[in-house]
Structure 1
Amino acid sequence: MAWRRTARAILLGTICVIAALIGAVLIVIVVQGKRKPDTSGQYVAMGSSFAAGIGLGPHAPGSPLVCMRTTGGYPHLLARDLALSLVDMTCSGSTTDHILDGGQMFLGPQLDAIGPAARLVTITTGGNDIGYIGGLIHASAKVSAIDHALVGKPPPVDPRAFDKVTGNLVRIVKEARRRAPLARIVLASYPPALPPSGSCPALGISDDAAAKARDAADHLAAATRKAARLSDALFVDMNIIGAEHGVCSADPWINGPAPRTGVPFHPNAEGAQAVADAIRASLDRSR
């Protein structure tokens, strides 16, 4: 019948349009990934989504789509405050391995942006190495049934993963220092999502799940602190500085599981500003 032929034609056309759009996006991702980074920046920021400012404003001009990098992340706030030219290499979903060796969706090493002109390098990473935020989102049940079926329950964190984070961070700092001998290098830990003890309705997770996530966050901060000590980098302990600003607090720096704006269990605008302020204060004290 004519209507069946018309329906098939519409379906085929729709499939072709979707395939073309997917192909176009993939081409953009590949082209962006192969682009060589600018190495003239006075300030180079590296790290994961906590630094990239995911969900905090306009897409950072020229940045890879896969990184979900915004102009509301703490690197942009800090660069404006210090009047430094910024090359922001932060990328949502990245690990310490990606900073060192690349491999994230065709992207090269984040370290490749560091040149001799750099006077400041900041690094906030490690959460994706241990599945920290993914575990929180899963525990809050803010994942679909399909995600549960395909991914299943997150495995427990291997204690060796924290040692790997420390080792990789030391390698990152040493390589950054080799490329930019005059740069001040800052390791900033993650602002905590959890209260010092227990849970609360705003978190949407059990006390047991909160305790496990808190333990992972504390160990990640300790791994970062150890790396800073071993590599003689400046350490900004947002895990301590933000202890009273978790999701359960009256003045949270981190979103809960279902925020009206932003991304679950990631910094809000106040949290990004707090990290920028803490790094600035630490730089001022260490002069």
Structure 2
Amino acid sequence: MGGRRAVAGGLLALACVVATATAGSASPLHTRTQGVPYVALGDSSASGPLIPDQVDANCLRSNHNYPSLVAIALDDELTDVSCSSATTANMTAPQGTAPPQFDALSRSTKLVTLTIGGNDIDFSSIIGTCASLGATDPAGAPCKAHYNSAGADQVKEVIQQTAPKVARVLRGIKKRAPHAHVLVVGYVDLFPDDGSSCTSATAPFAAGDFTWMRDREITLNSMLATQARRAGATFVDTYTPTVGHDMCAPAAERWVEDLVPVHPAYPVHANAQGHEAEARAVEHALHR
């Protein structure tokens, strides 16, 4: 999602501790298929910010992100233009010094993966708000109350408003890469799927907000799945295979980092093991 966007006043400072973390390892996948041109599009959930090795400082892109691992599995040539903080608008508009991501597509493109939508709903800001409000009612659900204060769930509404943007992106891919197999890759499980909590200094959310945040992420993934189906694309569920490895899991079992990462990755993002799981899910979808 928003790999370089500040999520709250104090959260950006917390993220800085990751910059000096030691490199982790990511084992490659071993399936081999005939190579086809592959383009990876998306935001920080695709680019892998702070995961070693970083190969694009502007976009915080790792060569051990899930697109890179998929390319190894396919023995394929990869053009990876995923970029932290990207929105649907950055498919056709530049992002800083990065050109529009659609510039990488062509009629010869055979495979496209896309992870997008998290920054369109400003999920990083939602996380920052929930972290800030956690201390006001640790046992309650102050963030849920905040986003429902106008009588309707504002996050659900913005997810609904993002749906046509994702649909336009998928139409744009089809137009530029008409022969490509398009996979919409969802977001990994960030919060405990069972609705439990792990409120702490590094996950400073109110106990009652964990379930609400989980449900909003599920709503986002459901929207992406619907748009993929309507566009004739394949939705890749990365949530289910990462259940139990969320930010509340023990450090050795954690594939998603909390606000103070223990593995080299950006806060509230998948680490190297999470990207391995995502790559396996993509590979599985390609061989169904």
TM-score, structure 1 normalization:
0.74
Which residue of 1 is the match for residue 211 of structure 2?
211
1:192 pairs with one of 182, 189, 203: 189
Q: 1:252 aligns with which of 251, 254, 278?
A: 254
Aligned to 2:222: 222
**CA 179–103 in structure 1, closer or farther in 2 if over 3 Å, else same:** closer
Aligned position for 2:270: 267
Q: Which amino acid aligns with 1:221?
A: N
Structure 2 distance, partners of 1:75, 1:165, is: 24
Structure 1: distance between partners of 2:214 and 2:122: 13
Q: Partner amino acid for 2:218?
A: D
Q: Return the alpha-carbon distance in structure 2 between the equivalents of residues 158 and 137 of structure 1.
A: 14
Q: Which residue of 2 aligns with 1:71?
A: 63
Is 1:170 paired with 2:167? yes
Q: Which residue of 1 aligns with 2:80?
A: 88
* Alpha-carbon distance in structure 1 between the residues aligned to 2:239 and 2:226: 14
* Aligned counterparts, 1:32-43, within 5 A: 42-43=37-38
SS at match of 2:159: helix
In 2, Cα distance between the equivalents of 1:262 and 1:138? 21
Shift of 1:160: 3.5
Deviation at 1:233, TM superposition (A): 0.5
Q: Structure 1 vs Structure 2: percent identity of aligned residues?
A: 29
- SS state at 1:186 partner: strand
Question: Any gaps of 5 or more consecutive residues in structure 2?
Answer: 1-35, 133-142, 148-153
1:128-177 Cα distance to aligned partner (Å, 9 max, x none)? 11122332244335xxxxxxxxxxx9984443422232212222222212
CA contact (8 A) 1:42 1:118 kept: yes
Map 1:233-244; keep pairs closer than 5 Å: 233-244=233-244
2:131 to 140, 149, 167: 140
Unaligned runs of 5+ in 1: 1-40, 142-152
Q: Report the Cα distance in structure 2 between the residues aligned to 1:140 and 1:252, rounded to whole angstroms.
A: 20
Correspondence for 1:117: 108
**Higher helix fraction: Structure 1 or Structure 2?**
1
Residues 232-259 of structure 1 deviation map (CA, whole Å, 9 limit, x = unaligned) = 1001111233222211234222011111
**Separation of aligned partners in 1, 2:276 and 2:236:** 14
Q: Is the 8 A contact 1:121 1:185 kept in 2?
A: yes
User: 2:199·2:206 contact (CA, 8 Å) conserved in 1?
Assistant: no
Q: Which one of the candidate residues 176, 179, 183 is aligned to 2:176?
A: 179
The change in CA–CA distance for 1:107 and 1:136 in structure 2 (over 3 A counts) is same
> What TM-score comes out, normalization by structure 2 length?
0.74
| CA displacement, residues 183-219 of structure 1 (integer Å, 9 cap, x when unaligned) | 1100011001101203114633112332332222111
- Number of residues paired by the alignment? 231
- Spell out the pairing of 1:144-155 with structure 2 (5 A cutoff): none
* Cα distance between partner residues in 2 of 1:159 and 1:223: 10
**In structure 2, C-alpha distance between the alignment counterparts of 1:259 and 1:105, rounded to whole Å:** 27
Give 1:263 shift. Answer: 1.4
Q: Which has the larger radius of gyration?
A: 1
Query: 1 or 2 for the larger relative contact order (CA 8 Å, sep ≥6)?
Result: 2
